[in-house]
Amino acid sequence: MGRKHNESCPRSSITWGKGEMPEPIIDLRSDTLTLPTPEMKAAMADAALGDDCYGEDPTVNRLEALAAQTMGTEAALFVASGTMGNTCALLAHTRLGDEIIVEEDCHVHQWEAGAYANIAGVAVRAVEAADGIIRPEQLEDLVRPTSDPHQPLSSLLCIENTHNRGIGSAWTPAEVEEVAAAAHGHGLKVHMDGARVFNAAVAVGVEVKEFARHIDSVTFCLSKGLSAPVGSVLCGSEEFMYRARRARKRLGGAMRQAGVIAAAGIVAIEQCASWLPQDHANALRLADGLSEIAGIEARMAPRPTNMVFMDVSQIGWESADLVARLKERGVLANPRPGSIVRLVTHRGISAEDVEAVIAAITSMVEDASTMVEGSRVRASA
């Protein structure tokens, strides 16, 4: 773990005091930690600019046109974040007091500070779904009857692709089509939180637009695995985008010379296909290597992407113990409830890093086993 990384495989910018953390750091907490490529930085420096509030920033306009073309939609809207994009979609698709249907562990429900309630003013009906993928038959008991004035009106189905808390599970276009048809049959609109939808496209081997063909809107993040520094894009019809643009204004998201950051997003869309498959390959190798360690369970989704969930319950550790032990060895990871941590591969993680992580965790487990055995020997003496 002693090699030096160059800009093409960047490290986290986190710094540590002397003696606090080994160097270099292998940061597997999230693909939000990706740094912009040299091409992105050059594009940002040279971006043609205007006032986006007047629709006059040529680089923002170019990004939105590229995003719409890539997703196969009529229009697109550049927003500051995935949460802003999802909230714009909620405001554009629903009315105050409506109810939306979501998978209970989805990002809109769990990780967006309750924006569905405190900004969009809608209620949530959450359902548990295997790997986060809602099946059409589940909607039958979830959609409210419009004839009952005592119940809220169901107006929107939100799905997440890939599903973060579903171990990065990817939907197939057929699954999206089926659940969208069921939702539309009940008069609901369908929004996809596609923060990592490009990862989903890689996982199932399709063009990303195949996920958007049967739904009403989709948000995707530029600043996760796509490596841009800022931003997301919301895509949909021209009619929908008119309402979404008004919603963005309400949220304070009408930016001025935003082409400075939009330029990186253009490069992200054009170039991400060159590194996302390697991210997935690295995650698979990481899961395989961890699975060979006694006491470690490494899990990936049925259609795996760039996430590995590592469970150490067999060793008797909690996630806080695991994160602390990893940090001592120069590896950062995000805890999950109980005895699980999430490991996310991205452009800043190389194949060599993966092998170093496997070696570090192997050593960590062996050290713990030696300590336990030593305690037993002393106790029996």
Q: What is the CA radius of gyration of the chain?
A: 22
| 256 secondary structure, DSSP code | S
| Residue 49: other Cβ atoms inside 10 A | 17
305 Cβ contact partners less than 8 Å away, ≥ 6 residues apart: 162, 168, 169, 170, 196, 199, 200, 202, 203, 280, 283
Instruction: Enter the tokens of residue 256.
Output: 């001025």
Do residues 348 and 379 touch, judged by C-beta distance below 8 A? no
248 and 288 share one domain? no
3-state secondary structure of 304: coil
**Is position 3 within any domain?**
no
Q: How far is CA 288 from CA 283, 354, 362, in A?
A: 9, 11, 13
Confidence at residue 151, expressed as pLDDT on a 0 to 100 scale: 96
Is there a domain that residue 260 lies in?
yes
Both ends of the chain: CA-CA distance in Å? 39
Are both 117 and 156 inside the same structural domain? Answer: yes
Q: Considering 251, 271, 291, which residue would you say is the last residue of a domain? A: 271
Same-domain check for residues 174 and 206? yes
Q: Is residue 44 part of a domain?
A: yes
Q: Taking each helix axis from N to C terminus, what angle separates 38-46 and 259-271, rounded to the nearest 10 degrees?
A: 140
pLDDT digits (tens, 9 = 90+) for 80-92: 999 999 999 999 9
Query: What order of strands is seen across the sheet that includes strand 307-311?
Result: 297-299, 307-311, 340-344, 334-336
Q: Which range of residues forms the domain containing residue 285?
A: 26-33+275-380
Q: What is the pTM (predicted TM-score) of this model?
A: 0.91
φ, ψ at 212 (rounded to 5°): -95, -5
What is residue 114's predicted lDDT score, i.e. its pLDDT? 98
Q: 3-class SS at 351? A: helix
The stretches in the chain having pLDDT less than 70 are 1-23, 369-381
* 70 upstream amide cis, omega within 30 of 0: no
Domain end among 240, 271, 302: 271
301 torsion bin: left (phi>0), alpha (psi -120 to 50), beta (else)? beta
> Is residue 319 one of the residues assigned to a domain?
yes
The count of structural domains within the chain is 2
Residue with tokens 């995707």: 220
Residues in the chain: 381
Say yes or no: 228 and 340 in one domain.
no
Specify the DSSP element, H or E, that contains 141: none
Condensed to tens digits (0 to 9), the pLDDT of residues 160-203 reads 999 999 999 999 999 999 999 999 999 999 999 999 999 999 99
| Domain C-terminal end among 245, 271, 297 | 271
Q: Do the strands 189-193 and 154-160 form a parallel or antiparallel pair, or are they unpaired? A: parallel
| DSSP per-residue string spanning 171-234 | PPHHHHHHHHHHHHHTT-EEEEE-TTHHHHHHHHTS-GGGGTTTSSEEEEESSSTT--SS-EEE
User: According to the model, what pLDDT value does residue 20 have?
Assistant: 55
Give CA–CA dist 209/355, Å, rounded: 34
Give the pLDDT confidence score for residue 367 in this predicted structure.
84
Residue 219 belongs to domain with CATH number: 3.40.640.10
